[in-house]
């Protein structure tokens, strides 16, 4: 099973200046080898890589430990095999990828903010309702969208116009339409 390490920041473990970082396979490390870093991030999925990138250009040395390899590896992926009790749900093992990049290796690349509605309690949805509002996340959404280079949010009507089609004749009070990026 491969263990990749991505080092970001000012220096690599070998002490050479390398602002881009390096990737190593821990399987190839000699016994007793160790890695020292200021910050250790576990998992090189969208979340882990984004957090690690925040430290680029700083003096801090960051190590990201990823349980998967550069390519899919059945032995590593097997660790996500789970027993599902209750309703069938294949996503717990098939919808998560153990590989550098994590589940972004499977995703559709669609980016869409949650709606205000998603945070509200709905009597017909058990355990619904979040202790925070959508607005509390807005500044984080803006930051994440900048990282993803998503550009400006396009109103649905403008998207239709850009394709030369009429928007569906639903009232916005009844149907809320938003474009993902
Ligand atoms: C088919 C599909 C399509 C999708 N489409 C979209 C989409 O269009 N838009 C969207 O927003 N989202 C989409 N998603 C969801 C999205 O891909 C995930 O929400 C997102 O990638 C999760 O990122 P993450 O970093 O939190 O976790 P992950 O991507 O799961 O990354 C976690 C990483 O940590 C590693 N890891 C776990 N445990 C350890 C450990 N103990 N030690 C070392 N490493 C470890 C794993 O190997 C993995 O690489 C889709 C998902 C699927 C399955």
pLDDT digits 0-9 by tens, 38-94: 999 999 999 999 999 999 899 999 999 999 999 999 999 999 999 999 999 999 999
Can you tell me the distance from the alpha carbon of 101 to that of 104, in angstroms, rounded to the nearest whole number? 6
| CA 102 to ligand 1: nearest atom | 49
Q: Reduce the DSSP state of residue 65 to 3 states and report it.
A: strand
Domain boundaries, the chain: 4-105, 109-181
Check pLDDT > 70 for residue 5: no
pLDDT digits (tens, 9 = 90+) for 134-143: 999 999 999 9
CB of 177 closer than 6 A to ligand 1? no
């Amino acid at each position: 099973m491969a263990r990749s390490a991505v080092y970001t920041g000012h220096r690599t473990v070998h002490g050479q200046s390398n602002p881009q970082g390096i990737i190593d396979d821990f399987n190839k490390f000699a016994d007793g080898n160790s890695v020292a870093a200021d910050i250790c991030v576990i998992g090189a999925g969208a979340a882990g890589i984004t957090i690690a990138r925040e430290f680029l250009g700083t003096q801090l040395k960051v190590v990201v430990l990823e349980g998967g390899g550069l390519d899919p590896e059945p032995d590593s992926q097997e660790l996500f095999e789970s027993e599902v009790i209750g309703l069938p749900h294949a996503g717990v093992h098939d919808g998560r990828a153990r590989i550098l990049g994590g589940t972004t290796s499977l995703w559709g690349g669609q980016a869409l903010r949650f709606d205000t509605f998603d945070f509200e309690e709905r009597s017909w949805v058990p355990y619904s309702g979040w202790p925070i509002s959508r607005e509390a996340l807005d500044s984080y959404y803006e930051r994440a969208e900048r990282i993803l280079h998503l550009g400006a949010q396009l109103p649905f009507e403008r998207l239709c116009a850009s394709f030369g089609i009429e928007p569906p004749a639903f009232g916005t009070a009844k149907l809320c339409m938003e474009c993902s990026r």
